[in-house]
Structure 1
């Protein structure tokens, strides 16, 4: 059964949160697939991961690249797993996959100020719980730190 984490963004945007989530997964030796809502957002996140820190970058490719299967982090807009990832990150309106059991961990990152995203996350929470998966809900405080709420 997959562990499903719900990350409720409030004080920091996806671009500031995603590198830390990716670094932690890579430190555990896990491959990650990140599904974004559009090609435009994929391009923004792709560029950001190369430049988010002066002394670091995250090795990654987009699913359109020929060597996607061999890379530890793949960015995509499709509901597939091109690098046989153990972790799937669903962001910006992307819903948790029906095939939750194909992953060790699923991370749903959603904007708490977006009513539609909040409603969809609540539906996904019910879906995850009804399927018997371990689910936890994390919310940012004013400083951007994560607090476990459920």
Structure 2
């Protein structure tokens, strides 16, 4: 059984929202792979991971030395060199062929909402996939419908 969490970004950009998910992932004893095809976005996410108040979220880039030791690995492709079981698709683009991930976070905004809806419908037919939808309300994440 795998789980896909859809996170609709409305108030905060992904570089502010994702570090909170990464912190919860590490507290759960898991590792995370963060994927984006946008190099600048990966840079902003990396900065966000280092600057979360009262938390040190060590991270590194795929292809760099010690990538296998990184609790949070930033990459442009789905290759969990750090052994991650949690995957964050930070650019709002769904990628098939991600076996072995127990949980996937699809982060999307107004520009990728239509594609996220298509993914939601597509995953409906997969009995082995549990789907959850989250949205921001008053500075908090709440599960919707």
- Give per-residue Cα distances to partners, 1:4-52, cap 9 Å, x unaligned: 1000111111122111100111011001000012111111211222123
The RMSD of aligned alpha carbons is 1.5
- Give per-residue Cα distances to partners, 1:53-93, cap 9 Å, x unaligned: 2x332111111212111211101111222112110000123
**Residue aligning to 2:5:** 5
Q: Which runs of 5+ in 2 are unaligned?
A: none
**Residue aligning to 2:72:** 73
- Counterparts of 2:13 and 2:40 in 1: how far apart (Å)? 16
- Paired residue total: 144
More helix by share: 1
- Counterparts of 2:18 and 2:84 in 1: how far apart (Å)? 16
Contact persistence 1:2–1:100 (CA under 8 A): no
Contact persistence 2:78–2:98 (CA under 8 A): no
Q: Which 4+ stretches in 1 moved above 6 angstroms?
A: none
Q: Which runs of 5+ in 1 are unaligned?
A: none
- Counterparts of 2:10 and 2:40 in 1: how far apart (Å)? 22
